[in-house]
Chains A and B, each alone.
Chain A
Amino acid sequence: DAKTTQPPSMDCAEGRAANLPCNHSTISGNEYVYWYRQIHSQGPQYIIHGLKNNETNEMASLIITEDRKSSTLILPHATLRDTAVYYCIVSPGNKLVFGAGTILRVKS
């Protein structure tokens, strides 16, 4: 079973920041927080991951709370092409357990 809880769906206006929350209250000390997304009919795409520090790359930022029990993925300027299912996964790395994810709909 997935060890994360995400809202089933969210809407975001094009050009605005999309903030996707994830709860992982039972995360272990050696588990990373991974974010993937899956655009319809495609394979999942890696976005970002982190252990306890906030991370940023060309796609997104990951904010992890100090107690590591929750995190937020931030897409700073959402576009229509960011419409997808976003998965938050906690894992030591060798196995990924995908839950239902959050359907993000970016609207013009």
Chain B
Amino acid sequence: SQTIHQWPATLVQPVGSPLSLECTVEGTSNPNLYWYRQAAGRGLQLLFYSVGIGQISSEVPQNLSASRPQDRQFILSSKKLLLSDSGFYLCAWSPGDGQETQYFGPGTRLLVL
């Protein structure tokens, strides 16, 4: 069966520090991968999605970037965090074969101080 991992589970970072969040998927090949953010009390916002290695689409302009160095690895990064980057970051995958139901990871809760 497929599983999706995210780490760390929680993170407290100072303003201006760099960020790297990692997501990995097991049990599938060539998945579509997604990064979402959920600000406190708000809905989920799609940040990036990827249909293959090195292929990244950005949905909203922001202080973040994404990379997909391996088929089942998706990384969310920032060079300098802002207070507004605080939130709950969720990674998701879908089979990428026309059946596009998305399955979410446990999330990383980021607090920027």
Contact = CB atoms under 8 A, between A and B. Distances in A.
Interface of A: 2, 34, 41-46, 49, 87, 91-101
A44 B43 contact: no
Contact of B102 (A42, A96, A100): A96
A32 B72 CA distance: 26
B100 A44 contact: no
Interface stretch (B12-20, B61-69, B79-87, B104-112): B104-112
A34 B101 contact: yes
Interface of B: 32, 36, 43-46, 49, 59, 90, 92, 94, 98-107, 109
B101 A100 contact: no
Closest 9 CB pairs of A and B: A93-B100, A43-B104, A98-B44, A98-B43, A44-B104, A43-B107, A43-B90, A94-B100, A43-B106
User: Main secondary structure on chain A at its contact with chain B?
Assistant: loop
Contacts of B101: 34, 46, 49, 93
Interface SS of B by simple majority: strand
B106 A95 contact: no
A57 to B, nearest CB: 12
A46 B90 contact: no
A46 B102 contact: yes
Contacts of B92: 43-44
A96 B100 CA distance: 10
A43 B105 contact: yes
Contacts of A87: 43
Given A93-B100, A94-B32, A94-B100, A44 B44 contact: yes
A42 B100 contact: no
B106 A42 contact: yes
